[in-house]
Amino acid sequence: MVSNALHDLWFGFGVAFQGSNLMWSFVGVLVGNLIGVLPGMGALSAISVLLPITYVLHPVPAILMLAGIFYGSQYGGAIGAILLNLPSHPPHAVTCLDGYPMTRAGKGGTALGITMISSFFAASVGILVMIFASPLLTTIAFKFGPAEIFSIMLLGLLAGSTMSRGSPLKGVAMTLFGLLCGMVGTDVNTGTFRFAMGIPELSDGLELVAIAMGLFGVADFLLNVNRMSAVTSSKTKLRVRDMRPSLSELKTAFWPMVRGTGVGTLFGAMPGTGPTITTFVAYALERKISKTPQKFGTGMIAGVASPEASSHSKTQVDFIPTMSLGIPGDAVMALILGALMIQGITPGPQLISEHPDIFWGLIASFWIGNVLLMILNVPLIGVWVKMLQVPYRYLFPSAMFFIVVGVFSTQNSLFGIWEVLAFGVIGAVLLYLEFSVAPILLGFVLGPMIEENFRRSLLLSRGDLTVFLQRPISCTFMIVSALLLIGVTWSAWRNSAAKNASFEVPESDIAVSE
């Protein structure tokens, strides 16, 4: 099996290194990297614009270009999140939590360096998983029905609600607010128009990009609108070598990187789960097992390494259900699936045997593309870091312009811009009141999928709620969710009891005073 996989991989490198294939792969990663830096202009917009080009290309270079845009934008998206607190793509919203504080502390170059290393490591592991574990992961994916998907989504929701700083109750409240936002629009089962206040533009629900841009980018701008200085002092010398983390920082990032890669690989094998869920779960896991969870959100390396690693491993492994089952993991994968069908190629179990040049050429191009991204970003990092020298009064209005353009391009509607403004004001108020806004995004993403799979499970079981405990995988996730909920409740009660005890006046002090 191993020898066959290596032989096929060698064949794939032969395909990927062909002149036209290599050129279009380079075009894809370059465009993806540049598009990823612009707020709102994500891989979905770029692939949508360039999709017509695939009509005149051979299937192999067409797919290599689209895949390059996809994982190239993941690299670029982290740059805006770390340097400007602007998540160009929703998965990078978690990176803002610790990446931007590192930038404010003068460690922006280090955060970018950790991101590059984590991304390359995770992508390499994801590629190896695609090569050697595709049949196994495909078999596992078939075992996940509505009950299993609901259980694992519930676990991710509970884990995410506890990652906010401060009171766990505030985290739960923000998650519930996100769930309510996710219910806006047309009910997929009944077609009912709900929670839309009679606004026709909300028939398809709230826009994910608009919520992410508003809660993180615009909210930060509104809170710091009177700040006229640069993000960091203009006297600070930021060089390309600043992105090279120290040995101690690499040691700190190693295990979070490994755990994030594992989370991304697990979620990548399951169809229907997007990268946003993956990064939230990876971040929540790191915060849960950390000895200093209260420091998350202040510039922790683990808070950057783990979600970025999970995002990139998920990006690579996402191609397994898309190519082998024909089930896309998210909207971008659906576009790539459409590009295959445009070429007359039907994704499915027979793809590997019928079109080995596409499958193995794509896998080989992942490694080539990630190496190209490393080479591209070494000189470009200096450009990104120098953005910190631009005064705030110029930098953020420019970012606001790109936010408007990016959000408008997703739906070609001005209504999305009003959504950004509304959630920007809401985010600014919540941040001022010391609420964490990250759980809102998690609740919004997971809410519709949790509801859909919950209702589907009850339909299949004819209303029997024990269906979630009858299936082994679902039962395991439900038990873990219950233990997590008990642990959070116990921790909150213990902290509250300790705080009340510290305010009690000792009897000896009362006696002395009398």
Annotate 56-106 with DSSP letters as a single string: SS-HHHHHHHHHHHHHHHHHHHHHHHHHHS--SSGGGHHHHHHHHHHHHTT
In a domain, 118, yes or no: yes
Give the pLDDT score at 257: 92
Closest by Cα among 278, 287, 311 to 156: 278
In a domain, 511, yes or no: no
Residues of the chain predicted below pLDDT 70: 1-2, 38-42, 44-46, 48-49, 51-52, 88, 133-142, 159-167, 224-242, 269-275, 321, 324-331, 334, 346-350, 381-392, 395, 409-411, 492, 495, 499-514
Q: The tokens of 447 are what? A: 């809410």
- Find where tokens 């990104």 sit: 384
Considering the entire predicted model, what is its pTM? 0.64
In a domain, 332, yes or no: yes
The conformational region for residue 229 under phi > 0 = left, psi -120 to 50 = alpha, else beta, is beta
d(CA 355, CA 382): 41
d(CA 403, CA 408): 8
CB atoms within 10 A of CB 402: 19
- Find where tokens 């993956």 sit: 278
d(CA 85, CA 409): 21
d(CA 298, CA 22): 41
Give the pLDDT score at 381: 65
d(CA 155, CA 452): 16
Which range marks the domain in which residue 170 is found? Answer: 1-228+238-490
d(CA 117, CA 34): 19
Q: What is the number of structural domains in the chain?
A: 1
In a domain, 382, yes or no: yes
In a domain, 110, yes or no: yes
Give the pLDDT score at 389: 60
Closest by Cα among 209, 208, 181 to 403: 209
**Cα dist. 457→56, 58, 145, 444, 450 in Å?**
44, 42, 8, 21, 10
Give the pLDDT score at 481: 82
For residue range 224-253, list pLDDT tens digits in order: 666 545 444 444 444 556 677 888 888 888
Give the pLDDT score at 235: 42
In a domain, 322, yes or no: yes
H helices present in 200-350, as ranges: 208-212, 219-223, 247-268, 275-289, 302-317, 319-320, 331-342
H helices present in 105-231, as ranges: 108-142, 146-161, 168-182, 208-212, 219-223
In a domain, 366, yes or no: yes
In a domain, 498, yes or no: no
Nearest 5°: phi and psi at 58? -65, 150
Give the pLDDT score at 503: 53
Give the pLDDT score at 52: 65
H helices present in 92-145, as ranges: 93-104, 108-142
Give the pLDDT score at 48: 64
**Longest alpha-carbon distance in the chain:** 93
Q: Is the dihedral of CA 47, 53, 56, 60 positive or negative?
A: negative
Residue at 264: amino acid letter = G
The DSSP H or E segment spanning 11 is helix 2-16
- The DSSP bridge partners found for residue 186 are 193
Give the CA-trace dihedral at 447, 450, 454, 456, to 10 degrees: 100
CB atoms within 10 A of CB 62: 25
d(CA 335, CA 62): 12
The DSSP H or E segment spanning 186 is strand 185-186
